[in-house]
Structure formats: C-alpha cells, structure tokens
Structure 1
Amino acid sequence: MEHATGVNEQISALNTVEAALLLQPKAEKIGVIAGSSLTEQRNLAIFQEEMAGYYHPIAIHYHSQLEPEALIEALENYADRDILIVLGYMATPSG
C-alpha cells in the first residue's frame, strides 16, 4: 500500500495506571471507561488482560458500554482524588 498512513492505537495499561498512581497517590479507586465501538472494546480487553496479573490495593472498576445517563451516574461515585482512565467513548450501545 503506497502513500498510506495510520496511527498506532496500542495501549499500555500498566504504564498508564502506574503513572496515574504517581500523580494521584491518594486515590482510593480507579475507574476505566470504554464505549461500545470495536476499538474501544478491543482496548478494554487488552487493558483487562494486562491488569489481570497486577496487584495494587486500589480496586479497578470497569464502566463499559454504558449509555450516557448510566455512565454519569457511575461517575458520581468518584472523588476528585480518584483516577479515571478513558479508553474511548465514541459509541454508546444505542449508537
């Protein structure tokens, strides 16, 4: 394919979480947000797989494929000191 370009969308869950914890050491929980698109769900699966062997006393909560109202309700349970990681939220279940 000549004259083609692209963007590498590979994520690094472990590095992201560790950097976030350095920046926000008083965090009590981590929320991970993913929409419904194929890329968002793929990134969520990669994130969960990479974090499966990671231990930290802070719980990680996943908010995936939620409609905006449900996502807003879930996010109301986070304090300013907590960490939110957005893997993408371009598509909702209803489109």
Structure 2
Amino acid sequence: MGQTTVKPKTRTKVKLQRPPMYKVILLNDDYTPREFVVMVLKSVFRMGEEIAHRVMLTAHQKGACVIAVFTRDVAETKAKEATELGKAKGYPLFFTTEPEE
C-alpha cells in the first residue's frame, strides 16, 4: 500500500476594509441669502425644511457646519454641485470636504 499524506486545508480570509469617509462642510458667508442656502441643502442633500434651516443657522452662527458624511467621491460630487448652484446665482456659497477622523 502507498503512503498518503494529509495536508490541512488552509483558507485565507479576506478582510474587507470600509472606504474612508469624508465630511461635507458648509462654510458661512455674509452674502448668500438664507433661503437660497436652505433650498440648496434640500435639493442636493435631500434634507427636510426644518433640518435644512437648522443646519443653515448653525453654519451662520458658528462659521461652518458639517452637512453629511459620505465616501470621498460622493462627498466631493455633492460639495461641488452645491457650490456650483451658488456660483450660478452669483453667490459665494461654498461647500468643502475633509476626511473624517
């Protein structure tokens, strides 16, 4: 009879890492009308009227406010879209992104 060798099966576990998340931040300015900021928050970030108004006031009082957290591509796309809406109307409305810690 032949000799059989038994090899243990090895499995490699794939560890999926979550993509890094980015914050979208609304920066306050003294020229963009509050109603316009609320409209942008509602249309781009799908916020309700009350939440959008609260976010706008927070940015107005504190100088900046985190709007939402997304993956990098989504955060940058939404920040750019919202900023361009302001530019199209001649307002200095500005949204930026930064990595979440």
TM-score normalised by L of structure 1: 0.32
Bigger CA radius of gyration:
2
